[in-house]
């Protein structure tokens, strides 16, 4: 062990470097000094409580030397649940690596919610073609009016999708379980059930006057509360996206941005025709709004705007390929100020940069990518809550 001396030697104490070096060699050769050194080396520096034990070393003249410097080992931290970092594995059906960030931004209240449920559903092994493969659920919900509908979606929607998968899994052929019509049926029924549960919960709150969040304390009317929902179910072969509202899912494949959902804005031609056919109107007041109120044409909740505002999701199924790099789910707080191409470029930069430096640390890279995208949205003066979830598909 090397000795480092830090101090000033006065002229009275001084001597030649050669003399002091010979004296140091003689002291080290002294058996008594060797025994003291061995005793100190064998003595543990850390006790069971994690506190560093202070060692007091004194020279032969009784002068107290500064305590030794204790170097704490640098450990790779485990991903925390609050950060949303994913868990990696080398298995074929390994849990995907992901990370998310959600910030209030310039809004008074935080009304977004993010859900991540790796391996939330696993099919039974039926034959060699259909091995027991896990399905992974991710969702971003952008609430409006209050946060409780987005919170309800975060807590319950994945459970409803799982229940519908179990119902449709009985008696279905292997080929039917991956068809567009099968997935569309599962997602539509899940979103409809979620909408009915939110409406029933609101009615129960109003009838019993149960103050459970800010909107009930301010007003007994909860019908003006809703939430968007963009949900992605990642399977070994496909990416299934169900979207209701103006949150968005974008796939980064071979460096290119591929939107997997289309925003439900009231001025979208087909949405405007649907609203008008139902007897409603789209009024342009600070942007296109349903009846001049809501800036999206589809959402869960918003009972006072039905049937003009629908809870029916649009479902897309995209076959996975070797060129898939990452999937980005985000609320409109990001997409209002950041393009699909820019978001994919930032995410790719973070994933590739961290992959070169860290061994198996791309979960941290997803977390960094989501945080960097939220900071970019805020730097570009986004006026909404910003929630970003990045899933590594590589």
Of 32-36, 55-59, 70-74, 390-394, where does the model show the most confidence?
Answer: 390-394
Mean pLDDT of 298-319: 96
Task: With cut-offs at 50, 70 and 90, classify the pLDDT of residue 218.
Answer: low
Instruction: Give the pLDDT confidence score for residue 20 in this predicted structure.
Output: 45
Are residues 373 and 388 in contact, defined by beta-carbon separation less than 8 angstroms? Answer: yes
Q: What are the boundaries of each domain within the chain?
A: 17-65, 97-264+299-392
Q: Which residues pair with 98 in a beta bridge?
A: 391
97-264+299-392 placed in CATH 3.60.40.10: yes
CA dihedral defined by 133, 134, 140, 141, rounded to 10 degrees? 110
Q: Kindly give the interhelix angle for 180-208 and 148-169, rounded to the nearest 10 degrees.
A: 140
pLDDT, tens only, 64-80 = 544 443 333 322 333 33
What pLDDT is stored for residue 96 in this prediction? 84
pLDDT tens digits for range 171-216: 555 446 668 899 999 999 999 999 999 998 877 765 555 555 666 5
The answer to whether the CB of 336 falls within 8 A of the CB of 382 is yes
Q: How confident is the model at residue 26 (pLDDT cuts 50, 70, 90)?
A: low
CB–CB of 64/56 below 8 Å? yes
Q: Is 147 exposed, middle or buried (0-12, 13-18, 19+ CB in 10 A)?
A: buried
Q: Which residues pair with 238 in a beta bridge?
A: 319
Write down the pLDDT at residue 81.
Answer: 33
The tokens for 79 are 């991903």
pLDDT number for residue 9: 36
Look up the pTM and report it.
0.73
Q: What is the mean pLDDT of residues 241-251?
A: 98
């Amino acid at each position: 062990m090397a000795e480092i001396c830090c101090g000033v030697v006065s002229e009275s104490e001084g001597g030649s470097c050669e003399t002091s070096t010979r004296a140091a060699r003689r002291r080290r050769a002294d058996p008594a000094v060797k025994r003291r050194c061995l005793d100190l080396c064998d003595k543990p520096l850390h006790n069971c409580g994690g506190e560093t034990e202070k060692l007091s070393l004194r020279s032969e003249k009784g002068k107290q030397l500064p305590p030794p410097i204790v170097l704490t080992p640098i450990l790779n931290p485990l991903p925390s649940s609050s950060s949303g970092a994913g868990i990696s594995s080398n298995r074929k059906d390994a849990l995907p690596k992901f990370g998310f960030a959600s910030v209030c931004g310039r809004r008074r209240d935080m009304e977004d919610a993010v859900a991540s449920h790796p391996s939330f559903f696993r099919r039974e092994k039926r034959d060699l073609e259909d091995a027991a493969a896990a399905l992974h659920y991710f969702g971003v919900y952008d609430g409006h009016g209050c946060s409780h509908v987005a919170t309800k979606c975060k807590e319950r929607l994945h459970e409803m999708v799982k229940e519908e998968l179990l119902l449709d899994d009985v008696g279905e052929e292997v080929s039917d379980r991956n068809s567009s019509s099968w997935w569309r049926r599962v997602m539509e029924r899940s979103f409809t059930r979620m909408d009915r549960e939110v409406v029933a919960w609101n009615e129960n709150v109003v009838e019993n006057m149960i103050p459970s969040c800010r909107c009930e304390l301010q007003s007994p009317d909860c019908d003006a509360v809703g939430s968007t929902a963009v949900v992605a179910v990642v399977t070994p072969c496909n990416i299934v996206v169900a979207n209701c509202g103006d949150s968005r899912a974008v796939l980064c494949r071979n460096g290119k941005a591929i939107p997997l959902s289309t925003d439900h804005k009231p001025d979208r031609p087909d949405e405007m025709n649907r609203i008008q056919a139902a007897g409603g109107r789209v009024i342009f007041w600070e942007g296109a709004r349903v009846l001049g109120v809501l800036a999206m044409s589809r959402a869960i909740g918003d009972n006072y705007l039905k049937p003009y505002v629908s809870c029916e999701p649009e479902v897309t199924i995209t076959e996975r390929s070797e060129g898939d790099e990452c999937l980005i789910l985000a609320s409109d707080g990001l997409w209002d100020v950041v393009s699909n191409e820019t978001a994919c470029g930032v995410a790719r930069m973070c994933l590739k940069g961290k992959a070169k430096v860290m061994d198996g640390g791309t979960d941290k890279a997803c977390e960094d990518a989501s945080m960097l995208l939220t900071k970019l949205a805020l730097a570009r003066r986004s006026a909404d809550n910003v929630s970003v979830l990045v899933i590594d598909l590589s």
